[in-house]
Amino acid sequence: MPEKPIFFVVDDDDDDRDLLTLAWKEGNYPCELVFAEDGQNALEVLEQLEVKPSVMILDINMPRMDGLTLLERLKTSGKWREMPVLMLTTTDHAHTVQKAYSLGANSYIVKPNTYRDLYHLWDTVYQFWINTAQLPARLG
């Protein structure tokens, strides 16, 4: 039986992580969520995981190492370059959107304002990345 897909969420906001977890539980999605609090913590967690995540959901504005810096490090590495990265952030500045895509982001989404909208966003992200898109092999 294939392993459950892993969504690796990198976000420093406790409330955002809690709301995403609630949406995941409410929808009873057959996947795992793994969290990191910032870019530096994400690199540490990635090295500890036995199986590569299927998709990373990445905030931008975080302490220690922001999301754009982490994105650049991932996309220039041999080990993590192919992992899809979805930017999920409050920042909607055109320059930041352009920079994220130029660094290799696979999508850029502005965080919704309500839980219901977050739930629908999570459902859309899950359905697309797990049931529609063909993901790269998750080799350890």
Q: Name the 3-class secondary structure at 42.
A: helix
Q: Do the bridges between strand 55-58 and strand 32-36 make them parallel or antiparallel, or are there none, so unpaired?
A: unpaired
Tens digits of residue pLDDT in 70-112: 999 999 998 899 999 999 999 999 999 999 999 999 999 999 9
Q: Dihedral sign for Cα 69, 71, 75, 79, please.
A: positive
Tokens coding 98? 């352009």
The yes-or-no verdict on residue 50 having pLDDT over 90 is: no
Domains of the chain: 18-26+51-130 (3.40.50.2300)
The Cα 84–Cα 98 span in angstroms is: 17
The predicted pLDDT at position 105 comes to 97
Give the chain's length: 140
The yes-or-no verdict on residue 64 having pLDDT over 80 is: yes
Average pLDDT score, the chain: 92
